[in-house]
Structure formats: C-alpha cells, structure tokens
Chains A and B, each alone.
Chain A
Amino acid sequence: MQSSPQSTLDTFPKYLIRNSDVHASRAAMRHKNYGVWQSWTWAELFEEIRAYSIGLQLIGLKAGDKIAIVGSNRPRLYWTFAAAQALGAVPVPVYAESVAEEMEFVLEHADVQYAVCQDQEQVDKVQSMTERLPALQHLLYDEHRGLREYNHDKLHSIAGLQEQGRAALVANPDLAKEWLQGIDASHGGELCVMLYTSGTTGRPKGVMLSYDNLLLSSLNGNAFDKLDHNEEIIAYLPLAWVGDHVFSYGQFLTAGYCVCCPESGETIDIDRREIAPTYFFAPPRVFESLLTTITVRMDDAGKVKGAMYKYFMAVAERCGEKILNGQSVNIVDKLKYKVGNLFVYGPLRNQLGMSRIKVGYTAGEAIGPEIFSFYRSLGINLKQLYGQTEASVYITAQPDGEIYPDTVGKPSIDVELLLADDGEVLYRSPGVFMGYYKNDEATRSTKTEDGWVHTGDAGFIDDDGHLHIIDRAKDVGKLLDGSMFPPKYIENKLKFFPSIQEVVAFGDQRDFATVMINIDLTSVSNWAERNNIAYASYQELASHPQVYDMIREHVDQVNRDLSEEPRMAGAQIKRFLVLHKELDADDGELTRTQKVRRSFIAERYLPLIEGLYDGSTERFISTEVVFEDGRRGEISATVRIEEMEIYGASELRESA
C-alpha cells in the first residue's frame, strides 16, 4: 500500500510503513476499552499515526523539537512516538506517577515544547508548572473527560488533531507524499528518543538513544528469542522505562507483533489472562507479588485440593525445570508431571494468563531463586537478563537451556564484556547510547573514548561464561577489618524470603554488618492469621516477638550462606532490626522504580543506625510521613534491636 521509495529500514517510522505493507491486515494493537478489545490492524495503525503526525505538523511540531509523553500505556501515547519521529521530533516519555518536582525537572531539562498527557490529571499537573517551563508551547491530551471547560488555544485533543490531519490529507494530496519523503530523509544515526533514568542518586539523566541503538538491540533481541509477528504482548510498564520502550515499541515495530494495552490498573490481571501474552516482561516485584497472591489464595484451599497442590508442586520442584530445559527425567516423574500439568500447572498458567508464554523475562533487579524456579517449574520459560538504559536494555541474557538462578546469563548478541580490576562490569555494543542530554561530563565519566560503558555494577564471570552481579560497584564497601561488604548482595539474599519486603544493609567503614528489615505485609499478615496472632497495625505486627523470631531465623540462614563463601564470610549480619513503617516512595525512601535510597534512609533513620552500632537493645524513632491524600504526619515507635550469632568461614572453602 504506502510503499515508498524504500531506503534501508533504519528508523521506526520506516518499519511502521514496512509493517503496514507486509502485515497490513494483521492486528497491530489492542486496547481493552469500553469493555472489549478495540483493535487496530497495521494498515489502520499506519493511517491513525499518519493523521496524528500531520496534525502535529499543523500545530508546528518540527524536526528537533522535544515532545514529552506523560501517562500510562494507552495506544495514542505509543502512537505519539512514531508520529513525532516521522517529523524528526524527539519523544521524551516521563514517569506519569512521579511527583511534580521530579516531572518538572525532566520537562525543564529536556526543554520540551510539546507535552502529550493521558488525561485531566496529567494536564493539570503539567499546566501547574507552565510558567516555569518557558519552552512549552502546546499541550495534547488523550481522554477529554473533565477538560471540556478548559481553554483550548494551546490545548488539543489527540483525536481532534487526527481529524485536522485527515482533513489536511484530503485537502492536499501531496501532503502524504511529502510526509513519506520526510521519513525517507531521516537516517539511523539520528536521535530517536530520550529516556530519563530515575537515578537512585542525584537528578535523573537524559539518555539519548539513536535509531541504530534501539533498532539493533531490538533486532538482536528478536533474533535471540526468535520473536516474530505472531507474538502478543501486554504493555503495562511505565512508558519512560527503557524496558517498556524496547519491548512495546522497538521490538513491536521491528518484529511486527501485537501490543495490547490493559483497561486499567485494577484489571491488569484479568486483561493479562484474556490476552495470554506469548512474550512477557516484568521486574522481579511483579513475579513476587503474583507468587504471594497465589500462595495466599491456595492457603484457603480445602484439605484435598491443598494436599494435591502441595504434592504436585513438589513434583514440579523436583523435575519441572529439568523437563523445561529438556533434560532427561525418569519416566515416573515425567508421568506425574503430565498429570500435574492437567490438574495444577496448566490451570495455574491459565489463571496467570501465562499459558502461551514463549519467553518471559525478569530484569531490573535480582530475583529470588525460589521465585524464579517456581515459575520455570510450572513450565513457563522465564529467563533473566541484565540491561541498562544506556545499553538500550540488552547486556547479558540467559540463553534457552542455560538457566541458572544466580546468574544473569551470557553477553547478548554483539555485546562485549570487560571486567575492571575493582570488579566493575563494562560493556560495548551497538546499543550503547549517544550520551546524556546536556551533561557531557556525566557522559565522559560513564562512556570511555573507545565506547566502553561503565555499568557501575560489580560482578564476575564464571567458567560457563555467565555473568554474576554482586552489587553496585560503588556500594561494595569495606568493613573496618578490611573484609568486603556488598550490601545489595546481602539485602537480596534476605529479600528472597517471602516474609521480607525490603532490606537496607549497613557496614561500609564500620566494624560489622547490620540490617534494617521491612516485613512483607501480605505474606506476614497472612502468616499471622494462620498462627492466630492478633495485631492492630503494621507497626504492631512488625514489632511482634514471633515476627522477630521468624525474621531472626531468616537472618541466621543468610549468615550460614555467607559463611560458605570465603569472600563474603566477613559480611555476616551481626545485628538487625525490623522497621516500624513500610519504606515508601512518597516519603522519598524509595525511587519511583522502588529501589531503596540508601543515603537518604541513612540520615532519616540515624538514631536507629546508631542504635545498631552502640549495642543498645532498643531505640525510639519518630519520622514524618506523607499520607495518600497528601497530608503530612508524624509516626514514632520504639524499635527493638537484636544480636545475631556469627559463623566461622567454612573450612571446606578455605582448603579448596
């Protein structure tokens, strides 16, 4: 249909055109809206995006302009990428739920002239900061609700723009051709998108990625997992996150598969089940919470069903992964697994909407081994990958059949790895970013002349060539006795226990390692119910002696493990406490991607940390918190601190 004098496929708009030719009548996008999955074929999608793009052109969007995208996974917001790129403009997705000042910084720093908002809420947010955003010219919105009364000189509905675009196309036949020529003129080296990394420390940095970066890593990703136009995925992660950008946009266009947008936050689970994606991606958090809900729900099961579930899950644990990896298992187990598949695994996959998954990925953080193997043992091909915005995601990934929970896999296609002396991992690949926007000094410090990029993560490569990540390189500290102290490593080991939600470890430049622990409300409260432990509040539950005992066991377990590894033995946990409140992004204790802000916490809970080291058995603490409705308040408590026993580094390893 719109076949243009095709040059090489080196930009996303070109892929859009390609798909509208090759897959014209295939579903390109779905959106659960008004009760059913509204669908667009590639041909329709092309038409929509072109109209949109022309519309943008009419209100003056031109090459080089920055256009912010604020909102959740809605088709029109995804269209904005292509529509803008077709005109040579640069889309800048922003974390919709980020607090005003964060968003304002990004919009200001990226000096965006246009902003596309999902709905009234976002429009209000952006408009509230207009006077501090001189560059901003036009606001666009997807959902008109509640915006009727607003002044519309500088405010446009996307649908409205599309109408204008269509009208213009009719009025002026050449427009379409010019538009296509514009696309042909562009090339792969150009800036394609700017993604702001929600830095755990300091201000977010704007990572500039070129078409080549994203296209190549997308294509490599497709090749690595044999993804093609038959995939269906469900887009539910923040648009501003590189993961979503590659999966729901890069690979979407390059592979030509179908992206489905859920109806709303509450319905995501149902929507996933309805669509049953063939390719799935989620940070460990999602898998954790899914597993927790499964266990919680199964706990209420009747005797028979409960027993059956336990039995077959045991079978799966024994041979499920082997079967998935195509290793040989004895015939009896094979049979048992088949039965289990009929009665438990199959239905479970069905409930999770994972019956059709070809490949599932977890990344962003380390995932608990048992969580990881739980899904694999169900027959879901879940894999880990290690990536970064700066690398357009892929650095390493686990190849099929070579899955080890404690590694993040082998270098992805076209990726080279290098280990610095301090153990930091460096990489070089076609996906490597152009640089940080308006921040050369940061660029220089991360990216060497010859294109190596510092991941900032410490790790090592084992004999099979698999990469192990220990921790953030700069976070790997030393105890005063000189032994190594990898906080994240310790924290993750603890976090792998379902009853533990969040952990903050201390020890750098100190005599010994200590941890602050956040219990996981869902699983612990459930545990409390079953052991009929009464409690009135999170605080009371957290400070309950029996809870302490349970946590104590976990910590002890971790200490044993640490003592097994000579390099870590010194970092055993000497004292711990259970925090009286949940760490919360609204209080700035976590980042928007739910990573802990170590330094911030360190000063916020100073008294407790002193307590951890001055040998006192309890400490009083009072902190300011922000409630959901924005009100501020104080909460205070006296937190108990407990002493742990330390194990000698295991002789076995010593001798080895």
Chain B
Amino acid sequence: MADWFTLVAIFLLLTVAAALVRCWRGPGPVERIMAAQLAGTGVIGVAVVLGAARGDAAFLDAALIGTLLAAIAVTAFVRGTAKPGAKE
C-alpha cells in the first residue's frame, strides 16, 4: 500500500512539473506567480502522501506550514507595483 502512495507522489511531482512549464512560458507575471502557487499546492500534496507512505505524521506539519505560507508570496506579489513608479 505504501508503494501506491509513493507512486501517487511521483505523479504529483509530474503535475508540478507541468505547472512549471506554464511558469516558464508566462506570458504575464500573474501566470508565473500562479504557477509557483500551483507548484506549492502540489508539493503540499506530495508531503501529505509521503507522510502516509512512510507512516510519519510529522510530515503533515510540513504540509501545514506549506499551506499556511502558500499565500504569502502571492500576497507580496500583488501588492508589488500596482502603480509603477508610485511606490517608494
């Protein structure tokens, strides 16, 4: 059974890779940061699944931290230069 979870983890990694392709292509900044966010969700999934595969509940703490801070980069990004040249 644990192997199934590892297999799922591998597939999740591949979906993360797919999201990163969009990050590379862009075209806009919103896409790029969205892709980073998607990669974050994927990684959280991997952490959960890996925790199940190895039977270590502490992995979930890593996932929890990931979800807590997942939005932080996006928040920092959108505040960015909403009006170029106006800030700072």
Are A and B physically bound partners? no
